[in-house]
C-alpha cells in the first residue's frame, strides 16, 4: 500500500508540554507537603484524566479539603507559563513542511482538548499544515483506545494502512497499532524511559527521519 498521510500526536511530540505539566503538579503537591513523582505523571501521559487525575489524587491526600476545580485552574496556568519557555521540538517544523510539500495528508490526533491543541498549533504557526485535528472533544474514548486514530483517518479520507503515525507514549503507540496503523515512536525526556516496544520503529528525533525513506515502509 502506498503511503498517503501522516498522523501526529501533539503533547510531547510536537511541543514538550509534558515536562512543564509534571513540574507544575510537583510544585502544587509540594505546596501542601506531598511528593509528586515522575512515575505519578507517567500515568497520565498519552491518555485522559480517567487514567490518572493529579487533582483528585491531591484532594484525597488532603482528605477532600481542596477545591479540585481551583487546583486544576491554578496548575494549568502554571503549566502554560512554563510552556512559554519551550520551543517546538527538534526537526518537527522542517519535517511537517517537507511532508506538506510532498502533498501528503497530515492530521493530528490528541487526547487533549481542542482549545489546548489548536491553540498551540496556531501559536506555532503549524495549524494550516493539517487537514484534520482530532481531539478528546471528538470521541467517547481517548488513547489507548484507537478511536482518535480511526476518526482522523476517516477525516483524511485514508485507509489505516496508508498512514504512518508518530507518537511519543505507550498509550499512543497502542492506540495507533490497534487502529491498524504503522507507528513510529519518538520519545521525549519523560517517555524515553517508558516501554515503546509496540512501535514499529523508534527514532530519537524527527531530525533523524528522512521522508523519502518512509515510502518504502508500507510496501
Determine the Cα–Cα distance for residues 77 and 79; give it in Å rounded to an integer: 5
pLDDT, tens only, 139-178: 999 999 999 999 999 999 999 999 999 999 999 999 999 9
Q: Catalytic annotation on 216? A: no
- Residue 139: strand pairing partners: none
In Å, how far are 32, 55, 68, 78 from 64, measured between CA atoms? 13, 10, 9, 22
* pLDDT, tens only, 62-114: 888 888 899 999 999 999 999 999 999 999 999 999 999 999 999 999 999 99
SS3 16: coil
Instruction: Say what the pTM is.
Output: 0.93
**Residue-wise pLDDT tens digits, 183-205:** 999 999 999 999 999 999 999 99
CA distance 19 to 22: 5
pLDDT band for 1, please (50, 70, 90 cuts): low
Query: What are the residue boundaries of the structural domains of the chain, listed by start?
Result: 5-16+88-214, 18-83
> How confident is the model at residue 48, as a pLDDT?
73
Instruction: Annotate 90-111 with b (16+ C-beta within 10 A) or e (fewer).
Output: ebbbebbeebbeeebbbbbbbb
Looking at domain 5-16+88-214, which CATH architecture does it have? Answer: 3-Layer(aba) Sandwich (3.40)
59 vs 48 pLDDT, higher one = 59
- pLDDT given at position 217: 87
- Catalytic, 137? Answer no
Amino acid at each position: 500500500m502506498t503511503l498517503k498521510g501522516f498522523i501526529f500526536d501533539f503533547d510531547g511530540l510536537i511541543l514538550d508540554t509534558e515536562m512543564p505539566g509534571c513540574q507544575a503538579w510537583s510544585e502544587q503537591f509540594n505546596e501542601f507537603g506531598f511528593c509528586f513523582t515522575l512515575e505519578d505523571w507517567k500515568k497520565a501521559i498519552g491518555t485522559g484524566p480517567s487514567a490518572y487525575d493529579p487533582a483528585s489524587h491531591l484532594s484525597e491526600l488532603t482528605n477532600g479539603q481542596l477545591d479540585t476545580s481551583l487546583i486544576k485552574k491554578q496548575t494549568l496556568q502554571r503549566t502554560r507559563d512554563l510552556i512559554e519557555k519551550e520551543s517546538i521540538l527538534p526537526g518537527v517544523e522542517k519535517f511537517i513542511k517537507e511532508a506538506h510539500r510532498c502533498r501528503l495528508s497530515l492530521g493530528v490526533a490528541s487526547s487533549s482538548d481542542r482549545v489546548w491543541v489548536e491553540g498551540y498549533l496556531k501559536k506555532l504557526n503549524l495549524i494550516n499544515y493539517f487537514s484534520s485535528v482530532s481531539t478528546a472533544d471528538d470521541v467517547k474514548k481517548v488513547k489507548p483506545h484507537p478511536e482518535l486514530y480511526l476518526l482522523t483517518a476517516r477525516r483524511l479520507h485514508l485507509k489505516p494502512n496508508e498512514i504512518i503515525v508518530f507518537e511519543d507514549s505507550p498509550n499512543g503507540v497502542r492506540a495507533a497499532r490497534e487502529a491498524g496503523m504503522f507507528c513510529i515512536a519518538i520519545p521525549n525526556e519523560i517517555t524515553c524511559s517508558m516501554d515503546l516496544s509496540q512501535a514499529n520503529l523508534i527514532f530519537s528525533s524527527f531530525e533523524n527521519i528522512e521522508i523519502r525513506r518512509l515510502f518504502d515502509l508500507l510496501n
